[in-house]
Chains A and B, each alone.
Chain A
Amino acid sequence: MSLKITVRDAATGPVLEVAGDLDHAHATELRELVATCTLQPGQCLVLDLAGMEFCDSSGITALIAARNHAHAARADIALAAVPANTRRVLRIVGLDQVFTLLPDSDAAGVTAGQSVPTGAPSDPNAASASRSTCSGSGAQQ
């Protein structure tokens, strides 16, 4: 029972690959890591959940905190490759309409491009994408 978060930078912004259990014991790790992510307006923070094996209400809270963090920076957020059981929970609590759900994190570019707020010009944002970083980008235990 553990959580492994790998950070990589995509053209659209940081991608956090979450693997393992996003439960009461570990969800704080995601929340703390996300809080260190510097996001530029118009970027898209992608949480790739393909390797996530378990997610309880603490995990849902961490996802909401990540959304608040992204929106505070006027950035977007998307969940990629959400496992079926978590998708069911997201549907029950209505969060399937709040988060952009992607089949996989490679789809982030297309969707993020589409979801740039109309108020924010897209070209400068694209140029600033490489400046995104999360503290300790690399493997986080």
Chain B
Amino acid sequence: MTVIGKGEESGAVLEVEDLSVEFPTEDGIVRAVRGVGYRLDRGDSLGIVGESGSGKSVTALAVMGLLPATARVRGSVRFEGTELLGLSDARLSDLRGSGIAMIFQDPMTSLNPVYSVGYQIAETLRRHNPGLKSRQARERAVDLLGTVGIPSPERRVDSYPHELSGGMRQRVVIAIAMANDPDVIIADEPTTALDVTVQAQILDALETARAETGAALVLITHDLGVVAGHCDRVGVMYAGRMVETGSVEDIFYTPRMPYTLGLLGSLPRLDREEERLTPITGSPPSLLNLPPGCPFAPRCPMRRDVCDNTEPALRKAGHELHLSACHFADELAGTGAAEVFDAIGADSEALARFADTTAPTNAEEDTV
């Protein structure tokens, strides 16, 4: 713990460097995370976006030391200067909750069904403050439930998880996460299981938790809209790697990686009328036996020979802090999704043939 000061000086609370995670399976090695790095300063909020299987959750679990023992984790994760990889489970337990707290996607499985929510909050509090009297812990639990917006918290503190709605449960999870005043909160798809009006409430509660604790936030989500509103910086993940990082403005207004551009072009928007969406064809590659070259190349309309052979490094695109892993990032300056991707829909020839051939019979014969 002597190196903590070093982290303080540089301002970084969490530094992840060249993190890779492999899972040996019967079919071969699944390379779920391949050289991910990011740095989180005090009070920072970083959004990590990507589609299913891009490695965003595994990255978070690796940081928390929550991966199964079979996972091979390499690289470096430093919390306030302390290396976390290789730390004993007991030492990690001291950090979990008080240093780094995590909010999971599904509040039903992340809460224990046989204890009241008050007990579960108190448990977290007393784990890090052994001297705390149970009465004080309970009072603090009521406070916390109130802070995250649970009505009549003094009554709800004795409720069991099954007595609460999904949104209420997720508030309890947020209360637990903020209980020990953590420096970093990692939220993994915190609102995915919830309805949109409840999502808005939960994001609001998360903002409250950040304001109260001053914690830095890593927000993992597939929803680009959530990132736009709650993060300062964004990392886009694809096939286990960061393929573009930058400020929210960089990513949303001047993306320099075809995948990011494709994602934005695929998104139906509430705030404007787009003629056509521009989907990305194909599907993400299997992380088992990943071929050499850029993993996005098979789906990329800008693909050239070099893309099949060499995987591009994450490097400067535009300005110092905007990085992109594309050989042709410079060509993307000032382009929109519609210029790069095709607005593919139905096969027009097949559609015309289908429309021409009349329906086999008409319905009236059968109705009588």
Q: Do A and B bind each other?
A: no
A interface, CB within 8 angstroms of B: none
